[in-house]
Amino acid sequence: MMRAVVLLSGGLDSTVALCWALHQGWEVSALAVSYGQRHGRELSSARAVARSLAVPLHRVCLRLPWLGVSSLVDKVKPLPRVPLSRIGRGGIPSTYVPGRNTVFLSLAASLADSIAARAIVIGANSLDFSGYPDCRPEFARAFERAARLGTRVGAEGGRIRVLAPLQRLDKAGIVRLGLRLKAPLALTWSCYAGGARPCGRCDSCRLRERGFEAAGVPDPALTAG
Amino acid sequence: MMRAVVLLSGGLDSTVALCWALHQGWEVSALAVSYGQRHGRELSSARAVARSLAVPLHRVCLRLPWLGVSSLVDKVKPLPRVPLSRIGRGGIPSTYVPGRNTVFLSLAASLADSIAARAIVIGANSLDFSGYPDCRPEFARAFERAARLGTRVGAEGGRIRVLAPLQRLDKAGIVRLGLRLKAPLALTWSCYAGGARPCGRCDSCRLRERGFEAAGVPDPALTAG
């Protein structure tokens, strides 16, 4: 059975990506990275999602002092609020965390190399990528090549793959795929802010809300509370 | 003045690479990564080297629980001892840390993206690479491409470069370059084991010793103590 490492933030996208990997019949290890986000709510969701799917969760804490430039890390910086139609069109937003997916994928590559996994799965998707350069398909392909050359698995002839199964889906498509795969969507957290309930106002909340609306189902994370 | 991030372990190679970057006239930030090495001696050297060259040092601590597979992390595992002539020919040694340079370069890319640096410098060299896949030139090139695509600097048209200025040098060549650049070689630490003085027996000690011998100078780190 092929092993795969899935990057799990505890959000909607990575949870659906995790269920997709399980659906492939792979032996999945999840990897959650704490990098000093504004709040720990996402990571609690990652733990709950992994537990509900009986998937082992590896957790890495890292503190990168220079990440204070991002409003997703520095609580003093205001979160951006732009019209939904303009998300992804106004350049790179303040929530961009420099090199985040490069770091995440490298940690996943290190874990994959340790357990001889052949696939790294990430929930990146381009339609709502909000201008993040490290969510682009060409980045994932370039990283895949680096991971093949820079690992034992790759050097010994294995083909590590970097897979972004949600790449072509919009939020409604991700919700529909999640429903089809019986993903524990009620346990996921997308809000950029912390708190007991999603703020409903940040970019991430509004994209999620629109996704559930378009899929024609209520958001179970809102009704569950 | 161009900014550069130099990965600094506190060893001979990365210290010479740092001096090379300073010699280019760049504004250099050093980055030291603590990943649970057998000992903290290297990091003390990194601090001493950065201080002596008046270079700001960023330090990142990360604990990757799965790295126990490497004898460079797990103190219970014996360090390898193979004939010098066979180093790099017996496949990947037990000191290989899965995906280490992938992780190091990704952290450097994140820092570079935060401070708009255009170069990442690593002391990797192929002649004594001891079989590590992530010291190969083709890996550095592949990573460079990923870093360009996955960062703000790259997405906005900047060309982040990954430079391995020691790539073609053997240990004697690195020693000679270090002497020419007046690198603080006495402050560097290469030994895989910890302790007050280098063990003189591990692969890294013997490669270093041979390098100084071939360069025709005594190792100042041995005479200084």
Give residue-wise pLDDT tens across range A69-101. 555 555 556 555 555 555 555 566 666 778 889
Q: What would the pLDDT profile of B138-195 be if each residue is shown by its tens digit?
A: 999 999 999 999 888 888 888 899 999 999 899 999 999 999 999 999 999 988 887 7
Asked if residue B170 lies in contact with residue B7, where contact means CB atoms within 8 angstroms, the answer is: no
The pLDDT, as a whole number, for residue B127 is 61
Chain B environment of A99 (Cβ under 8 Å) = 106-107, 109-114, 147, 150-151
- Which residues between 52 and 71 in chain B have a beta carbon less than 8 angstroms from any beta carbon of chain A? 58, 60-67, 69
Q: Does residue B24 surpass a pLDDT of 80?
A: yes
The pLDDT, as a whole number, for residue A197 is 87
Report the residue from A103, A149, A155 with minimal CB separation from B110. Answer: A103
- Which residues between 14 and 43 in chain B have a beta carbon less than 8 angstroms from any beta carbon of chain A? none
DSSP A64-96: -GGGGGSTTT-TTSPPP---GGGTTTSSS-TT-
CA distances in angstroms from B31 to A23, A171, B20, listed in the order given: 40, 38, 15
| CB-facing half-sphere around the CA of B188: CA atoms within 13 A | 26
Chain A environment of B101 (Cβ under 8 Å) = 150
Taking the Cβ of residue B84 and every Cβ of chain A, the question of whether any pair is shorter than 8 Å is answered with no
The pLDDT, as a whole number, for residue A10 is 93
The pLDDT, as a whole number, for residue B12 is 95
What's the rounded Cα separation, in Å, for the pair A9 and A34?
9
* Least confident residue range of A89-93, A198-202, B55-59, B70-74: B70-74
CA distances in angstroms from A101 to A136, B30, B57, B103, listed in the order given: 10, 22, 23, 11
What's the rounded Cα separation, in Å, for the pair B25 and B15?
16
Query: Coil, helix or strand for A154?
Result: helix
| ipTM of the complex as predicted | 0.85
Report the residue from A92, A138, A142 with minimal CB separation from B152. Answer: A92
The pLDDT, as a whole number, for residue A79 is 57
The domains of chain A are located at 3-224
Q: What is the mean pLDDT of residues A36-62?
A: 88
Q: Does residue A173 surpass a pLDDT of 70?
A: yes
Ranked by mean pLDDT, the top range of A58-62, A125-129, B52-56 is: B52-56
Interface test with B, best of A100, A113, A118, A126 (most B CBs within 10 A): A113
pTM: 0.87
The pLDDT, as a whole number, for residue A141 is 94
Greater pLDDT, B185 or A224: B185
Q: How many CB pairs under 8 A join A and B?
A: 158
| CB-facing half-sphere around the CA of B59: CA atoms within 13 A | 12
Query: Coil, helix or strand for A215?
Result: helix
Q: What is the mean pLDDT of residues B3-9?
A: 97
Taking the Cβ of residue A137 and every Cβ of chain B, the question of whether any pair is shorter than 8 Å is answered with no
Interface test with B, best of A5, A33, A143 (most B CBs within 10 A): A143
Q: B110–A142: do the CB atoms touch at under 8 Å?
A: no
State how beta strands A57-61 and A27-34 pair: parallel
* Least confident residue range of A137-141, B62-66, B80-84: B80-84
**C-alpha radius of gyration, chain A, whole number:** 17
CATH superfamily of B3-224: HUPs (3.40.50.620)
Q: Does residue B93 surpass a pLDDT of 70?
A: no
